[in-house]
Amino acid sequence: MKRSGLYFLCCALLPLLLGACSGFSVPDLDEAVRRENLVPEQWKPLKLSVGLAPVVADLELDAKKFNVEDTRRWVLTPDEARLNGAENSLQALFLQTLSRYRMFERVELIRGATSKSSMEELRALALAQGLDVVLRPVVRRSDVGYVGTNAAYGWNLALWLVLSPINSWWVADEDFDAFLECDLGLYSTASGAPLKLKRIKPEKPVIKAFDDWDHGFHLFAIFAVPGYFDHENWEKVGSRLMPLAEHETKKETLRFITREVGPAVSGDAFQDGIRRRVGLFIGVDGNGQSGVPLTRFAGADARALAQRLPSMTQEGLVRKASLAVTGEAATRQGVQAALDKLTPLARANDDFFLGYSGVGTLTPEGKPAVLLSRRGGGYEAVALEALVDLALAGKPRTLVLALDCSFISPADGRCAVSAELLAAIQNAPPESLLQPLVERCRKAGSECVILSATGAVPGPGTPEHALELEDLGQGLFTSFLLDGLGGAANTDGVAGVSLEELARYLGPNIERISGFDNKPQKPWLAASPARRSFLLPSAEKKPAER
């Protein structure tokens, strides 16, 4: 009698022992990070500002096919709440993981972005936030499936046949798997080019054993799984397994950032890829009154530079960060407002282009200055070095100055210098008044490149002019500068235009045209030693043009 009771007790306990493998608690992520060394002890946030885009779904498995024709796999098509916005959405998963483990200096959602935003729209929105890259997750797999029976199935079948079907209901003898795979892409906000692409998926599938209650009870489940499943059963399987799959996704995301993105960020290719080239181009025409010469095409110069430099196929400026401020809007306040928009985008890895076309002059101390419009009418002279200091606010890698005016030529149409102001440089050495700007930039932590219509060199020689020609509708210097960058100076036709290439093109052409009117003009180009091999924006030549 005692043996019989013990037998039945063992039979009653056996399904509980066999069912012990049925468990769906999500492992502790912190423990997994420590155990698998997913984040090295000496890890420092990567020096990147990252905009997390809305998660989109582009599933490789067709739900209409698998959820109708296939009885062993079910596609869990994520809705918008599952993808974005909700506290437990996939977007929240990525944001929380990247923030919690300090993967980047800055990571935030892209304001105004939706799951329907194009890559170009995402890039523009992220750029407006001052972000370096867009991180865009795309869900490629979200499905669960039936793997088969496991080692407990034989014992469970014996229980069902010999003892009672009831005992078998608690035995986890059927294995199911879950797949959650995402493509993570890092894209430059400067160009939209992909910097790093990775399929995020676990090293091995997430597989767990289920008992009859886990996937939805059926009296003859031991013989019928998964043939009798409908969407409710599969959704129940998904609710059990997807949190485990998400856990693996978090781990693989950390592994991707620390082991692949981290080593790449400091490389030249990655830094080149995220480099932003932004520009402000100022155009102020003189009105021919009160000692200010009459000019007509300074505004056209600035607008042409702002429009065409972003269209260059090599080393081009960011289209949304290339601005022109001209005419009455080009006041000190208007220029300051434009710089306030652009300087946060030009940081230590970036290049800032500052262009001025119009009327040059000198300060009372004999330093180069330019005329800006004054509120209420007229002009005010602003020291060129003051504009340079404003442009260096974000500490860009390089400041490129493009100047189409003259500073010490009283008879020139683009110069408003007076005899009194010229007296300040009467005893100045015969060196360009622009050269000190190079050293000024270097002391501020930036390198400098200067492209000027004239050299502003004091001395007894014939003053150089900065001409504008009506048939060109532009300043002579700006016209040839755009032609040169547009391909004419690009001798090899492959990379951007070098300073040497540009000098070889500008000098002879500008001197030749200016000689027709007997008004000599000689362009002046300079660069700090670290930028003598600097590549300027250019259009790539077609093979037939090379």
Say whether both 382 and 441 belong to one domain.
yes
Say whether both 364 and 243 belong to one domain.
no
Say whether both 258 and 279 belong to one domain.
no
Distance (Å) of CA 418 to CA 128, 343, 415: 43, 33, 9
Q: Which helix (H) or strand (E) holds 209?
A: strand 206-210
DSSP structure string for 419-468: HHHHGGGTT--SS-TTHHHHHHHHHTT-EEEEEESS----SSSPPPP--E
Q: Which helix (H) or strand (E) holds 279?
A: strand 277-283
Residue 34 domain flag: no
Tell me the mean pLDDT in the region 183-205: 94
DSSP bridge partners of 362: 368
pLDDT computed for residue 232 by the predictor: 85
Say whether both 309 and 446 belong to one domain.
yes
pLDDT computed for residue 233 by the predictor: 86
Burial 434-457 (b: 16+ CB within 10 A, else e): bbebbebbeebebbbbbbbbbbbb
pLDDT computed for residue 169 by the predictor: 56
Question: pLDDT grade, residue 445 (50/70/90)?
Answer: very high
pLDDT computed for residue 149 by the predictor: 67
Tell me which amino acid residue 47 is. K
The answer to whether the beta carbons of residues 474 and 453 sit under 8 Å apart is no
Task: Tokens for 84, please give them.
Answer: 């974005």
Query: Which of 236, 264, 292 is the last residue in one of the domains?
Result: 264
Query: Which of 264, 289, 321 is the last residue in one of the domains?
Result: 264
Say whether both 207 and 304 belong to one domain.
no
pLDDT for residue 297 is more than 50: yes
Angle at the Cα of 466 from the Cα atoms of 320 and 384, rounded to 5 degrees: 60
Residue 9 domain flag: no
Say whether both 260 and 290 belong to one domain.
no
Say whether both 514 and 439 belong to one domain.
yes
Instruction: Give the CATH number, domain containing residue 537.
Output: 3.40.50.1460
Say whether both 294 and 241 belong to one domain.
no
Residue 2 domain flag: no
Q: Which residues contact 220 (CB under 8 A, 6 or more apart)?
A: none
| Alpha carbon of residue 34 to chain centroid | 31
Residue 54 domain flag: yes
Write down the mean pLDDT value for the chain. Answer: 88
pLDDT for residue 412 is more than 90: no
Query: Which of 264, 295, 328 is the last residue in one of the domains?
Result: 264
Burial 301-339 (b: 16+ CB within 10 A, else e): bbbbbbebbbebebbbbbebbbbbbbeebbbbebbeebb
Residue 71 domain flag: yes
pLDDT computed for residue 14 by the predictor: 47
**Distance between CA atoms of residues 268 and 271, nearest Å:** 5
Say whether both 330 and 244 belong to one domain.
no
Task: Tokens for 55, please give them.
Answer: 């998660």
Question: pLDDT grade, residue 473 (50/70/90)?
Answer: very high
Residue 486 domain flag: yes
Distance in Å from the first CA to the final CA of the chain: 102
Instruction: Give the CATH number, domain containing residue 171.
Output: 3.40.50.10610
Structural domain count, the chain:
2
Residue 501 domain flag: yes
Domain residues for 428?
275-545
What does the pLDDT look like over 497-539, one tens digit per residue? 899 999 999 999 999 988 887 788 999 999 999 999 999 999 8
Say whether both 206 and 341 belong to one domain.
no
Tell me the mean pLDDT in the region 408-423: 89
What does the pLDDT look like over 382-402, one tens digit per residue? 999 999 999 999 999 999 999
Say whether both 85 and 136 belong to one domain.
yes
Burial of 426 (0-12, 13-18, 19+ CB in 10 A): exposed
pLDDT for residue 309 is more than 70: yes
